[in-house]
């Protein structure tokens, strides 16, 4: 067990023993890393699946709400209905401004650039934005009601 180096005692491991220990440690680390990688991959897959499912639900709800709002706007002929729609539009604009402020604080710069492009396009044609904002508010209310019903 000695290495033949003066001053070493019998408890000093030889080069072969150290190599064996290093190989064993390397193998254990490899197994640990593979386990961590597998766990991370599984987590990423689960998060991605949940994200896609949430997007599909939100898109479906948005389509339903958008269709309903479009129908409501098309059939709104009374002053009272138009007043409610104007109030909803004002609420939608205020909510959008508040959300814009919050997202600006918490959104990466690349995403902000893309959102800026969409905002410029929306400003050039505000009617679809009004419909979309109203649809978003109604979607949020429908989702809230659906989620409250599950509890």
Instruction: Render the burial of 25-55: b for 16+ CB within 10 Å, e for the rest.
Output: eeeeeeeeeeeeeeeeeeeeeeeeeeeeeee
Distance CA 46, CA 123 (A): 37
Place 118 in a pLDDT band, splitting at 50, 70 and 90. Answer: confident
The CA–CA distances, whole Å, from 118 to 62, 110, 115, 123 equal 18, 13, 5, 9
Span 41-72, pLDDT tens digits: 777 777 777 777 777 777 777 778 777 777 77
Place 150 in a pLDDT band, splitting at 50, 70 and 90. Answer: low
- The number of beta carbons lying within 10 Å of the beta carbon of residue 141 is 11
Tokens of 139: 């979607």
Span 107-116, pLDDT tens digits: 677 766 776 7
Taking the model in full, what pTM does it have? Answer: 0.33
Span 2-52, pLDDT tens digits: 455 555 566 777 888 888 888 888 888 777 777 767 777 777 777 777 777
């Amino acid at each position: 067990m000695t290495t033949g180096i003066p001053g070493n005692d019998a408890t000093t491991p030889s080069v072969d023993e150290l190599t064996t220990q290093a190989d064993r440690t390397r193998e254990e680390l490899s197994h640990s890393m593979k386990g961590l990688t597998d766990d991370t991959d599984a987590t990423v897959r689960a998060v991605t699946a949940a994200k896609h499912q949430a997007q599909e639900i939100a898109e479906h709800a948005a389509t339903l709400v958008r269709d309903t709002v479009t129908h409501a706007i098309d059939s709104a002929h009374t002053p009272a209905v138009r007043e409610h729609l104007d109030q909803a539009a004002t609420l939608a604009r205020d909510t959008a401004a508040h959300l814009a402020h919050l997202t600006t604080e918490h959104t990466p710069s690349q995403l902000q650039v893309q959102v800026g492009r969409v905002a410029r396009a929306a400003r050039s044609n505000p009617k679809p934005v009004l419909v979309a904002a109203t649809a978003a508010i109604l979607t949020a209310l429908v989702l809230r009601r659906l989620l409250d019903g599950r509890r």
